[in-house]
Amino acid sequence: MADELRDLVGLTTRYLAQQGELGERELYLTEGNRPRRGVEHQVGAERRLTRLGGRVRSCTRCGLSRTRTQVVFGAGSAEAKLVFVGEAPGRDEDLAGAPFVGAAGRLLTKIIESIGFRRDMVYITNILKCRPPENRNPLPEEIACCCPHLDMQLDIISPLVICTLGTFASQTLLGTTLPISSLRGRVWDCRGTMLVPTYHPAALLRNPGWKRRVWEDVQLLRRVYDDLVAGRIPRGALKAPLTPE
């Protein structure tokens, strides 16, 4: 009981601190463990995402602020029940200021459409909001600087399911060093939200043989999503990774 109270106090403190950073003076309550999905919640979520995006676009927390063309904050619906999280912007994204617009982005669009969604129905973002030079791997200090931005995005949207794309996104959100090959194919808990890891679309372009595995992963993602929407799985009920039969 004491541990649960400490966790609750910690989450509440973080939430209030984030709202203060955004200049908010209102609390957004939940009903039945689900955020209000009416017009008032939608307007509030859109407003808070817009406000957060403005703050992130002027971020200078790490050295990537000196090499980026522009910040790539995220794109999609503030009401999305499904969020895709990748690694970092590439060259095309750095120029466009939007996530997943290059070849990997076109493949991600096809993956999203293959399970019955459109891009404007989901939300897409990255662990890092700025492109690492030459598309190198993110550094631990860069991830540490940028993760608070992602935390606030996820808190505002409050999705039912998160799909992580690739090693860095999956390891960062799950707090593990396990390889993506060990993480994919299962459903994990990410602070009360179900998370389904899979390979990054850029990896599929280099390794077409992995497409079958990604197809299996997104079919699992769709089943979990449908079960949550239908109430067959209570939100926040997952305490250990699930392995599909």
Using CA atoms, how far residue 30 sits from 2, 34, 36, 49, in Å, is 23, 6, 6, 18
pLDDT at 141: 97
The confidence score (pLDDT) of residue 211 equals 96
Q: Give residue 240's pLDDT.
A: 57
Give the model's pLDDT for residue 25: 45
Rounded to whole angstroms, how far apart are CA atoms 195 and 204?
A: 20
Residues 220 and 115 sit within 8 Å (Cβ to Cβ): no
Question: So what's the pLDDT on residue 37?
Answer: 46
What region, left, alpha or beta, does residue 133 occupy, with left being phi > 0 and alpha being psi -120 to 50 degrees? beta
Please check whether residue 72 is in contact with residue 131, taking contact to mean a CB–CB distance below 8 angstroms: yes
Tokens of 206: 């280099």
Tokens representing residue 229 in the block: 């929407």
* CA atoms within 13 Å, Cβ hemisphere of 241: 12
Query: With contact defined as beta carbons under 8 Å apart, do 242 and 228 qualify?
Result: no
> pLDDT by residue for the chain (245 residues), tens digit each?
555 445 445 544 554 554 454 444 444 444 334 444 444 455 699 999 999 999 999 999 999 999 999 999 999 999 999 999 999 999 999 999 999 999 999 999 999 999 999 999 999 999 999 999 999 999 999 999 999 999 999 999 999 999 999 999 999 999 999 999 999 999 999 999 999 999 999 999 999 999 999 999 999 999 999 999 999 988 776 655 665 54
What is the predicted pLDDT for the residue at 239?
Answer: 59
Question: Which pLDDT score, from 0 to 100, does residue 233 have?
Answer: 85
CATH number of 32-230: 3.40.470.10
User: Which tokens is 148 given?
Assistant: 């608070």
Residue 114's nearest CA partner among 201, 203, 206 is: 201
